[in-house]
Amino acid sequence: MTDVLAPVHRWTRQQYDDMVLNEIFRPGERVELIEGVIIDMSPQKSRHATAIYLVEERLREAFKSGHIVRAQMPLALDDHSEPEPDVAVVPGQARDYTQAHPTTAALVVEVSDATLRLDRQTKQAVYARNGVTEYWIVNLQDHHLEVYRDPQGDQYRSRIVLPPGEQVAPLARPDHLITVADLLP
């Protein structure tokens, strides 16, 4: 007998949003839509939560005007993906998104430990395909920052791995250097 994968129902972003509006998910249930699949988000450990706070704090310093820094809020990227990245820098002001989630970001950051494979493969492909100019993974397993730039198709053409002592400037704020150690717990 051959192993056969069962068919998977792919949800649209509209169907997913309808489920959220109709309270299909339990209060506090953490899920996101990635390529038509509803994925359970893993509970946050202390190191993960601390790293999100540190990233958010550094990016708020860098992006004081023209962009807002959103932590764990949806991005309506395409018809089948509405991820909730750990941190996203989006154009405009907070009230620009009262009627709809942002559809793009200048920078997306995922803090990654148990989800490293998902973040490097599936989420990276979604972000690249939807034109997110810059994607960072704060890699808690290896204690470094992975910087992805220059999206083309389902991938980024540039990948730089930076250890704690190095600095990086976001493409949208090239004059603002951030030390990698400041992003790590």
pLDDT tens track for 105-121? 999 999 999 899 999 99
Residue 14 has pLDDT above 90, yes or no: no
CB 75 within 8 A of CB 82: yes
Mean pLDDT for the stretch of residues 37-50 = 87
Q: Which pLDDT does position 3 carry in this prediction?
A: 58
Residue percentage of the chain with pLDDT more than 90: 74
- pLDDT score of 4 more than 70: no
pTM: 0.89
Structural domains in the chain, sorted by start: 43-183 (3.90.1570.10)
156, 153, 143: which is closest to 183 by C-alpha? 143
Instruction: Write down the mean pLDDT value for the chain.
Output: 92
* Residue-wise pLDDT tens digits, 132-181: 999 999 999 999 999 999 999 999 999 999 999 999 999 999 999 999 99
The strand pair at 107-112 and 31-34 is best described as unpaired
Q: State how far the Cα of 36 lies from the Cα of 80, in Å rounded to an integer.
A: 5
| Residue 38: HSE in the Cβ half-sphere, 13 Å Cα cutoff | 15
